[in-house]
Amino acid sequence: MDLETVEQQLKNAGVPKLVFSFSAKSEVKLLSKIMDDDEVIKYATSGSLDSDDLGDGTVELIVCTNKRVIFLSKRFLFGSNQSEVGLDSITGVSFKKRIFEGDISIASGNQHLLVKKVRADTVSTMAKAIKNAVAAYKNRGQSPVTAAPTENDSLSKLRELKGLLDDGIITQAEFDAKKKQLLNL
């Protein structure tokens, strides 16, 4: 995915400009190289992942997409670190907000990720974005549930059929069969 598309998706997701400004610019460039073409950013923020996967625990950019939550840290002299968790494995998300910063807790199987030092103005939005992305991911491909017809729907349909019978458009036998079906007889 190209850098311009990633930056536009960050804007479309309502991510504050300060999150992906100069300090995280290298992470945004890295993000453009690792995102799939069909991946969509739902929200992003900055913080610090309390995990051995990223060495010193410093993370500049945390991104929730329609497929995964990505943790990126790019250092000028020391290369970059990337960690991620798939939406399919996330079983819970919670957050704690304080005056200037907050924490996001992500439960994933038997793993528990704690993201610290999340900007206070983005912590609840990020937690909600992850929850919504997980729900959408787990419900993808499921057809919407259609409600069973109510008694009023059945009576309305029966009256309509009676009108068709009276006008000679359907036969008495067709009317009786449909009536049994509608009234569950």
What pLDDT, in 10s, does the model give residues 72-131? 876 655 667 788 899 999 999 999 999 999 999 999 888 888 888 888 889 999 999 999
Report the C-alpha gap between 120 and 169 in whole angstroms. 68
- What's the pLDDT at 54? 46
pLDDT reported for residue 40: 94
> Rounded mean pLDDT of 132-154?
71
For the purposes of burial, counting CB atoms within 10 Å of the CB of 127, is it exposed (0-12), middle (13-18) or buried (19 or more)?
buried
**Amino acid identity of 184?**
N
pLDDT top residue among 141 and 110? 110
Q: Are 112 and 106 in contact (CB under 8 A)?
A: yes
Q: What is the pLDDT of residue 97?
A: 92
CA-CA distances (angstroms) from residue 130 to 19, 35, 105, 170?
A: 17, 17, 11, 55
Q: For residues 9 and 38, what is the distance between their CA atoms, to the nearest angstrom?
A: 12
Contact present, 97 and 124 (Cβ < 8 Å): yes
Residue 50 in contact with residue 113, Cβ under 8 Å?
Answer: yes
